[in-house]
């Protein structure tokens, strides 16, 4: 097997502000694994929160790609990866997830079947995805919510954690007014104290919010569990639910855990978490980082196993260099083609002025404006 890397910049359509930061772009490193004329692709994206910059991802994916050379074929490499405990060797879960993605894509293509069938599901998943509105003015939030509702979005996720809690409440209130039929999720990203949470959760319940993600700062699962027990709204752990061990610790104590492939280590790790919490009273949410369709696709192949799907990372981009999972009308699905079922957008599909996002979008190409040329790694 041969592996190659390419780094690109993904610009957001508009800056996304959450309680701890504002993001306008991030870099993605694409891994392509080739064997006997077929190629599979995976993506890892940079994250300040998880301490991953492009240089680190490039170095780690280079090492992982080189390591694939010891396997005779992608099937044996995928089986070995499946049996490993994510993070046991110190590899960040985002890197493991990207390698797994490329192998799943390649194995699926070689077998002529989509990834969801490799994972034991016969039907192609199609689910409503949440669409995120960041911390912004009430006027802008109302306009965005009105547009989303008109385009078919039935789930809206609202970021919270502004210095003035009343600002967050007003944003939710106007979104509820203009999109009365939408299911609302709230995400303070750990910005509240326990006292604030006790005061604010009943008010959000009155506004019809369905569930709240990570209201408290991560690191105190006992406090989180106690808050969830008395909360008038379902609480979903995100930053407190990274690993399988975290999920087991929280199972039955919170109403949901947000599983992101980049933080748990990929689809097989996500399936182990889903199995661990099954029947406990804690439901599965599938989330994502802001990434391209390539980065989102593996999670979409699992999406019908979750109570909540928050798989809109590709929809936040000014230009998504890949296509294949939809989402623009409120639902994500898979194409049914072998492997991940995604493909690079052609030049004719590029919107005007988007060349600075990823340049030419052929993943085997040699570079262009706004990208770092790929490097052979095996």
Count of CB atoms situated within 10 Å of the CB of 329: 9
Q: What does the CA dihedral 328, 331, 334, 340 come to, rounded to 10 degrees? A: 70
Q: Is 250 in a helix, a strand, or coil?
A: helix
The Cα angle at residue 94 between residues 93 and 96, in degrees rounded to 5:
60
| Distant-in-sequence, close-in-space partners of 8: CB < 8 Å, separation ≥ 6 | 27, 28, 30, 321, 357, 358, 359, 370, 371, 372
Which letter does DSSP use for residue 320 in this model?
Answer: -
Is 260 tagged catalytic?
Answer: yes
Distance CA 128, CA 123 (A): 16
End-to-end Cα spacing for the chain? 7
221 close to 254: Cβ distance less than 8 angstroms:
no
The Cα angle at residue 310 between residues 119 and 235, in degrees rounded to 5:
105
Choosing from 109, 157, 159, 263, which is the catalytic residue? 159
Which letter does DSSP use for residue 211 in this model?
Answer: E
Distance CA 270, CA 283 (A): 13
Q: What DSSP element (H or E) covers 309? A: strand 308-309
Q: Which tokens hold the place of 97?
A: 């997830």
Which letter does DSSP use for residue 191 in this model?
Answer: -
350 close to 320: Cβ distance less than 8 angstroms:
no
Choosing from 2, 109, 157, 260, which is the catalytic residue? 260
Q: What DSSP element (H or E) covers 285? A: strand 283-286
Is 159 tagged catalytic?
Answer: yes
Give the catalytic positions in this structure: 159, 260
């Amino acid at each position: 097997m041969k592996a190659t890397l390419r780094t690109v910049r993904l610009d957001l359509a508009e800056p996304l502000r959450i309680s701890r930061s504002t993001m306008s772009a991030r870099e993605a490193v694409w891994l392509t694994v080739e064997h006997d004329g077929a190629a599979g692709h995976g993506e890892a994206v940079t994250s300040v929160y998880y301490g991953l910059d492009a240089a680190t991802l490039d170095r780690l994916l280079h090492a992982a790609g080189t390591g694939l050379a010891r396997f005779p074929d992608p099937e044996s490499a995928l089986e070995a990866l499946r049996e490993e405990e994510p993070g046991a060797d110190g590899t960040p879960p985002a890197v493991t997830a990207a390698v797994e993605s490329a192998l799943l894509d390649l194995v699926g293509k070689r077998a002529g079947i989509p990834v969801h069938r490799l994972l034991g599901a016969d039907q192609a998943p199609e689910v409503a995805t949440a669409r995120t509105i960041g911390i912004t003015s009430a006027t802008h939030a109302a306009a965005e919510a009105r547009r989303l509702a008109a385009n078919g979005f039935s789930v809206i996720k609202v970021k919270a954690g502004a210095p003035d809690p009343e600002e967050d409440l007003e944003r939710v209130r106007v979104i509820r007014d203009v999109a009365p039929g939408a299911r609302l999720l709230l995400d303070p990203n750990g910005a509240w104290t326990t006292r604030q949470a006790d005061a604010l959760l009943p008010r959000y319940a009155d506004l019809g919010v369905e569930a709240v993600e990570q209201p408290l700062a991560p690191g105190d699962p006992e406090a989180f569990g106690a808050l969830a027990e008395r909360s008038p709204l379902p609480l979903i752990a995100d930053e407190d639910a990274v690993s399988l061990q975290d999920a087991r610790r929280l199972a039955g104590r919170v109403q949901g855990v947000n599983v992101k492939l980049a933080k748990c280590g990929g689809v097989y790790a996500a399936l182990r978490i889903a199995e661990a919490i099954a029947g406990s009273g804690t439901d599965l949410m599938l989330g994502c980082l802001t990434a391209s369709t390539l980065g989102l696709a593996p999670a979409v192949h699992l999406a019908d196993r979750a109570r909540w799907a928050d798989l809109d990372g590709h929809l936040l981009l000014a230009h998504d260099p890949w296509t294949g999972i939809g989402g623009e009308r409120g639902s994500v699905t898979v194409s049914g083609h072998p492997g991940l079922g995604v493909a690079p957008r052609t030049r004719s599909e590029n919107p005007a002025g988007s060349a600075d996002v990823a340049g030419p979008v052929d993943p085997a190409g040699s570079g262009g404006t706004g990208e770092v040329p790929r490097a052979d790694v095996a």
